[in-house]
Structure formats: structure tokens, C-alpha cells
Chain A
Amino acid sequence: MNQVVKFTIDGIECMAAQGQYIVDAAKENGIYIPTLCNYPGVKPKGSCRICTVKVNGRMMTACTTPVAENMQIENQDNEIIELRKAIIELLFIEGNHFCPACEKSGNCELQALAYRYTMMVPRFPYTFPQRAVDATNPKLIKDQNRCILCKRCIRAIQDEKGRSIFAYHKRSNKVEIGLDPKIGKGLTDELAQKSVDVCPVGALLIRGRGFEQPIGQRKYDKQAIGSDIENM
């Protein structure tokens, strides 16, 4: 049997199974910690840092840190909120995120986080990098302008033989995620849809489809990301 540990988040007493990651433990206790590179069922990576919390005064990523007895976790600390805002703003200026022209707008996790943290304008200058759209795959479109390099597609999508379809190309600020042209050709409709669902932003799209839900009926039009956890 798993041992149960007691800990606090922003002073609220919580309980969870030992070894559970802080994000999941918080979720079970009705507390939302924002995530972006984390995806249910995929091994956490801790790369986007949006889930940063203070654990006994030290900053740690909640998706990769397991809970322990008597942990004092701060999730609403001003410093933490400011850090998260800065991460969101950096992601917006680093790529080309034209929300009004994006098929994923309204269902995008990055945009939803910006809404939740009321981003009116990024404090950093826009970089407008030159990036391409890869439309060589028969089923998927990969828009490098919108990719935030969270690696969710690399980590979550494998074909029936266990081979990865997506992979990192190039290095440093030129890095991008590409589709394997050979394995990608045989992509099933099901796996293509799963890839699109896994992508938090509009960097992966099904060819010939978009803007299917009207404004007002999309996932984050009326409800903030994480409100489902908080209102459990």
C-alpha cells in the first residue's frame, strides 16, 4: 500500500500518496498548478518551468518533484506569479503567435495561460523569427512559427512499432521539431488526431481542417484553464 503524506499548499492542508508529483497531488486536492510541457500519461520533463512552485522556500518544478511529508508548498506567492507571467510573455515574443489567425485560438493552452494571468502585452520586445511551415506530410501541417518546443509530441507519439515520429532538428535557438518523412507518410488518421490533441498550441494541425468551433463555444472562451480542477 502507498503511504499517505501530509503537506500544505499556500497554507491549505493536503494529503496525497507518497511519491506522487506535486502537480498531480495538488490536482487531487482541488488546487491548480499551471502546466504546459506536462501531459497526462507522459513522463514529466520539467522543461517549460511554468509549474514552478516554492517548496520549503526553494523554487522547484511541481511536475517533476514528488510530494513528501510536511512539505510547505507555495503556489500563489507573488514572486512565483511574476515568474510565470514572465515565462508566458517570453514564449509569446520568442515565436510568431498570431492569435487572430490561428486555428487553435480558443483551444490553445499557451493562450489560455495568458488569459488566466491577464497578459495585456509582453514586457519584452517581439523577435519575429523567420520560421517555415512544413506541409510535406499528407495528413499533418507543422507550423514552426507557433511551436513552443515542449516536446509533448516527441514524447507522446509513437507508431505501432514504438518508433518516434517527431524529433528535434538543429541546435540552440534554431532548434525545431520535425516529422520523420518516412514514418510520417504512414501516419494513421487516429495518430494524426492524437498528435494534434497532444500539441498545446497550434503548431500541429490536421490538413484541410480548422476554425470548426465558433467563437464563444471554444474550450477557454468562458472558462479559465484550470477552473475545472478548482471547481471539482
Chain B
Amino acid sequence: MSKPIVATTSLAGCFGCHMSVLDIDERILELIDLVDFDKSPVNDIKKFSRTCDIGLIEGGCCNSENVHVLKDFREHCKILVSVGECAIMGGLPAMRNGIPLRECLEEAYLNGPTVQNNKLKLIPNDPEIPILLDKVYPCHEIVKMDYHLPGCPPRADLIWEALIALVTGGEMKLPYEVVKFD
């Protein structure tokens, strides 16, 4: 039987959750014996080459590209997992949800204290740039997510336990120390 295939991506996240995956330390050797990786920033594969078993999603959806990638993952992965607070509830990027989008852009490109040399008073608006959404959305409000691993980042032990449980079909151990929101 072929190994289960894992894909990962970072949407509106900071890559902290991917770093936490690496925090499983030497267990990573065990992991590559257990699974194959497809599309992921870890191996730099940009496009899906086959249907995957598990998709790990870091970050919420803040722009049209995030939504596109997330839908692509839903199409190609049998199980999708929200990894981290940003995927679960928007996280720190969602702190802009109470501020109108125009105000955010004006602060970033026109009025902010660190803005320099924007004499034409331009806010980037090229069609090539993914368009920002009105709010940052949790992944499960865009597509169906099967599991959620909270934490900022989720503890490496939590990610490890979840992966092992998914791959082996066993039950997941959830000691008190591993489920944290920060």
C-alpha cells in the first residue's frame, strides 16, 4: 500500500505553524517514513500532482488568492485540518476586521508614520495583486474543514499526535498542556 500523502500551505499566516511542524524534532524522520509530501512550502512543490489524503492549512483568508488556494486544497485533499489560531479564527490578521478596509490601506500607504516617498498618493491597485477581502475569514467559513488544531502556534506535540492519529486511524491523545490558544 502506498503511503498517505500530505499537502500543506500558509494562507494569511506567518509560517509559525510550519515552524511548529519542524519542532517535532527527530520525529521528522519517522514522519517521512510514514507519509509522502505533495504541494507544500516544505518541499517547494507548487502544484498538486495527485489527490492528497491530508491537507494542513495555516492562516485564514484575507484575499482572493487565499480563497482560491483554500478551495484548491478542498478539491485535492480528503481531509483538511485548520492548523493554528489564524486558520481557526483569523488570528492577528483578523484584528483589522473592526477597521474599514479603506482606512487600513490609507494607514499603510498614505498616512502611516513610516510612509515615505509616496508622492503620488497611490494605493496599490494592479489587477495582478490579489484583491483584499472586506474581512479576514476563518477557513471553516469558506470551505468545510474537518479538524481544528488550536494554538499560536499549535504545540508540535499536538500536530504530531494529530498526524499520527489521522495516518494510523487511532484515537488522538489530548493532554491538558497541548491545547493552548497562544
User: Contact partner of B85 among A99, A125, A215, CB < 8 A?
Assistant: A99
Interface 9-residue window, one of A6-14, A34-42, A126-134? A126-134
Query: Do the beta carbons of B174 and A118 come within 8 Å of each other?
Result: yes
A215–B180 CA distance with the chains assembled, in angstroms:
11
A16–B141 CA distance with the chains assembled, in angstroms:
48
Query: Do the beta carbons of A121 and B135 come within 8 Å of each other?
Result: no
Shortest Cβ distance from residue A131 to the other chain B in the assembled complex, whole angstroms: 7
Nearest A residue to B145 by beta-carbon distance?
A: A121
Q: Given A120-B148, A120-B149, A121-B82, A126–B181 Cβ distance below 8 Å?
A: no
Q: Given A101-B92, A120-B149, A128–B97 Cβ distance below 8 Å?
A: yes
Query: Do the beta carbons of A121 and B150 come within 8 Å of each other?
Result: yes
> Count of B residues near A, CB < 8 Å?
27
Query: Do the beta carbons of B176 and A98 come within 8 Å of each other?
Result: no
User: Contact partner of B91 among A98, A122, A223, CB < 8 A?
Assistant: A98
- For window 121-180 of B, CB contacts with A under 8 Å fall at 135, 138, 140-141, 147-150, 152, 174, 176-177, 179-180
Q: Given A120-B150, A126-B89, A126-B138, A222–B177 Cβ distance below 8 Å?
A: yes
**In the complex, how many residue pairs between chain A and chain B have their CB atoms under 8 Å apart?**
70
Interface size on A, as a range, is 20 to 34
Asked if A148 is at the interface (CB within 8 A of a chain B CB), the reply is no
Shortest Cβ distance from residue B61 to the other chain A in the assembled complex, whole angstroms: 13
Task: Return chain B residues, CB-CB under 8 Å to A82.
Answer: none
Nearest B residue to A111 by beta-carbon distance?
A: B181
Nearest A residue to B181 by beta-carbon distance?
A: A99
Asked if B98 is at the interface (CB within 8 A of a chain A CB), the reply is yes
A residues contacting B by CB (< 8 A) are: 92, 96, 98-102, 105-106, 111, 114-115, 118-122, 125-126, 128-131, 145, 215, 221-224
| Seed contacts A115-B180, A125-B141; 7 additional CB < 8 Å A-B pairs | A96-B98, A100-B182, A101-B95, A115-B181, A118-B179, A121-B82, A128-B98
**What are 15 inter-chain pairs, A to B, with CB distance below 8 A?**
A96-B97, A98-B91, A99-B85, A99-B181, A99-B182, A115-B179, A120-B88, A120-B149, A121-B89, A121-B138, A121-B150, A122-B89, A126-B141, A128-B90, A128-B94
